Amino acid sequence: MVRLRSSYDREILRLAVPALGALAAEPLYVLADTAIVGHLGRPQIAALGLAGTVLSGAFTIFNFLTYGTTAVVARASGAGQHERAARLAAQALWVSLAIGLTLLVVCEAAGGPLLRALGGHGRSGHDALEYFRIAAVGLPAALVALGGQGYLRGVSNLRRPLEIVVAANAVNLVLEVLFVYGFHWGIAGSAAGTAIAQAGMGVAFAVELLRPHAETKRPSLSEMKPMVRVGRQIFVRTTALYASFLAAAAVLARMGDAQLGAHQIAFQLFIFLALLLDAIAIAGQVIVGRMLGGGDADGARAASLRMIAWSVVVGTAFGLVLLPLSHVVPRAFTSDPAVLAQAAKLWPLFALMQPLGGAVFALDGILIGAGDTAYLMWSMLAASAVFVALAALSFALGWGILGVWAGLDVLIAARLALLGIRFAGRRWAVVGYA
């Protein structure tokens, strides 16, 4: 039971509310794509289900640019090393830009073989490749935006990311409607609108990363080292989580377009709600990192317990609201009867995932803020291995979409158990900047 008042609530809300706005706006890029493209037809939404999963994953697995930057900047800020935090801002820009440009080249070269390997075929496979190659142009700017958000969160400035992301999202929606319905560019228009909006967002965050005063803003491997260390482990952890959802999409693509289309709707809604729940986790990253940097391990633990409690309450509320809407919410994305029927099957499992996810996301944020990312990495690899085995069984034994989504629930439950064990100990509560 969550106590009605706590001394930590004011600070949690001050950080979580603007983070909530920014996080809610981010996945609306793909939710807008899903709603607009879904009404073009079944092949188009199936294509988006495949290409969108890959692109969302490319964006997601590099979120270490945000989380790694937040963790080291918050520690530096808590320890009073503000000039170091400014130097880290510039390094975040160079790291993000280098990775983004490399990722763009890889995506354009490997897009075709990758989508075919994941089950893309026929009309939906052709449309998936078209969407993928156009939307991938926005990846470098999107990754710069990740680094920019990480720095601003680390110095407790969560209002500016909210302003930038909301503006970019509004531009994206206008461009999508214009290109798809005004110019009749189809799925290509949806991809172009997203890429252009991401480019503008990237420029705005680059300005923020170069704004603070530092002795030098040139690329420096030694300055990058702390965020790269944390980032590498978060990258592996996030890649394992994304690989689980990618495996789910690959299995469902081999079952049929209806199953893949239903998975796309639920997956994008999962990402959307996960980011809403992640608002409290972001507060956890900042508060825990700052408190441990300042030497207050007991305060970090007490604030963490409060954030876990609120995350479970919010996740439970999401689950209760979603549960009776299995025949309502999916209709906002498609009118295809076969897709709607498959969505109704997975819906109870999707609703059950929310309270479990609330606790997991809070623990994630706490351990990231503490820099305990090696444990996050290994625990995620273990949970993902369990899911991949269940997904393979679902395909081999004909369990269908129910088997795949039951496996995803097991994945989240396994993560909760492993992270809960770690938090119950206190090895994560290491104080000081180093």
Q: Tens of pLDDT along 170-196?
A: 898 899 889 988 898 888 898 899 899
Question: In sequence order, what DSSP letters do the residues of 206-242 get, joined into one string?
Answer: HHHHH-S--S--S--HHHHHHHHHHHHHHHHHHHHHH
Residue 149 confidence (pLDDT): 92
Res. 341: pLDDT tops 50? yes
- Please state, in angstroms and rounded to a whole number, the distance separating the CA atoms of residues 413 and 391: 16
For the ranges 127-136, 253-262, 354-363, the lowest mean pLDDT is seen at 253-262
Res. 43: pLDDT tops 80? no
Residue 30 confidence (pLDDT): 66
pLDDT > 90: what percent of the chain? 25
Quote the domain boundaries for residue 401: 9-424
Give the residue-averaged pLDDT of 26-43: 73
> Does residue 434 sit within a domain?
no
> Does residue 1 sit within a domain?
no
Give the residue-averaged pLDDT of 292-311: 88
Q: Which helix (H) or strand (E) holds 291?
A: helix 257-293
Closest CA to 140 of 205, 213, 221, 75: 205
> Does residue 282 sit within a domain?
yes
Both tokens of 21, joined, read 């706005």
Both tokens of 305, joined, read 């317990």
> Does residue 429 sit within a domain?
no
> Does residue 298 sit within a domain?
yes
> Does residue 431 sit within a domain?
no
> Does residue 76 sit within a domain?
yes
Inter-axis angle of helices 337-369 and 297-322, nearest 10: 170
Residue 282 confidence (pLDDT): 87
Q: How would residue 239 be classed by pLDDT, with cut points 50, 70 and 90?
A: confident
| More confident call, 197 vs 53 | 197
**Hey, which of 35-44, 260-269, 367-376 has the most confident mean pLDDT?**
367-376
Number of domains in the chain: 1
Q: How would residue 160 be classed by pLDDT, with cut points 50, 70 and 90?
A: very high
Res. 151: pLDDT tops 60? yes
Q: How would residue 148 be classed by pLDDT, with cut points 50, 70 and 90?
A: very high
Res. 24: pLDDT tops 80? no
Residue 1 confidence (pLDDT): 47
Q: Please calculate the CA angle 217-96-12 and round it to the nearest 5 degrees.
A: 90
Residue 29 confidence (pLDDT): 65
Q: Mean pLDDT, the chain, as a whole number?
A: 85
pLDDT > 70: what percent of the chain? 96
| More confident call, 13 vs 2 | 13
> Does residue 430 sit within a domain?
no
For the ranges 30-34, 173-177, 405-409, the lowest mean pLDDT is seen at 30-34
